Amino acid sequence: MSDYLTVFSIILAVIFFHYQNLKTKQHRCLDEVINRLDIITTIALNSCNTLPHARSQGEYEFNSKILRKSIDNFKSNAPTLLLKKHEFDTLSRECIELLEYIEMHTPVESPDNIETDSDGKMVNNLQTTLKVHMLANKIVSRIYKLL
Amino acid sequence: MMATINVAKDFSLMPSGRSHTDGSYTGEHFYDYLVRIMNSIPEDEKIIVNFDGILSAGSSFLEQSFAGLIRKRNITKSKFSDKFIIEANDYPEIREKILRYVKEA
């Protein structure tokens, strides 16, 4: 009887440590996602607020690539008992939506994406920056809901 | 017969930008490249555009190159899917974006 109890305890301990390990990895990915989101929104907002409006010289592409990679890592390190696949798919989709908005409506990828006034300033600056903030905050709040 | 364009090998690993002035591998550069390929093959021959292996592809790049074909009347929306086969196994959203940009062009 005591042998069974010992084996059972060991199995429980292994499961517990495995679970804790996944949670730690997941938190590291979470930190990375939030950090990259912060960098990406800063790059996008700077491109909207700095004159003359210019495209990113590779920083945006680099950080967006890391963000995508971090979300994939977040997904693969998530304890599946607690989190559902569709929640990660939604997170991934919202991330793509943010990146697409930045690439199509800010000068990050091309200054030709924006309309400028006679002083060369972006016309709908406030509307665009608010939308970038809104989409980024939506992703952050979803991440916290997942945990 | 089919012509195949491997974007990562034949064009750039990280295509981005809209206009010629944005860099060397922008949407307008790729538009020019697509038009050259279209003009060099028979009209009924399909073109496979494969995005596997690229590091990223900017949305402005995709919009300018593919929706540009519609805007500049190189091909009609209805014939686009008959002519082009878009493959993007690493980033499936690239295919979805291209089809959406063509539809909205």
Asked whether the predicted pLDDT for residue A19 surpasses 90, the reply is no
Q: Which pLDDT score is estimated for B37?
A: 94
How many contacts does A have with B, using Cβ atoms within 8 A? Answer: 45
- B92 preceded by cis ω (within 30°)? no
Decide: B3 and B43 in contact? Cβ < 8 Å: no
Contacts of A34 by beta carbon, 8 Å cutoff, 6+ apart = A140, A143
Q: Which residue has the higher pLDDT, B61 or A144?
A: B61
Q: Mind giving me the DSSP string for A7-48?
A: HHHHHHHHHHHHHHHHHHHHHHHHHHHHHHHHHHHHHHHHHH
The partner residue sitting opposite B18, judged by closest CB among A64, A100, A109, is A109
When pLDDT is cut at 50, 70 and 90, the band that residue A80 belongs to is low
Tell me, yes or no, if B31 comes closer than 8 A to chain A by beta carbon: no
Per-residue model confidence as pLDDT tens digits over B3-60: 999 999 999 999 999 999 999 999 999 999 999 999 999 988 999 999 999 988 999 9
For residue A78, what pLDDT band results from cuts at 50, 70 and 90? low
Residue B82 has pLDDT above 60, yes or no: yes
pTM score of the predicted model: 0.87
- Measured between CB atoms, does B6 come within 8 Å of chain A? no
Shortest Cα distance from B14 to chain A (angstroms)?
Answer: 8
Of the candidates A25, A144, A133, which has an alpha carbon nearest to the alpha carbon of residue A76? Answer: A25
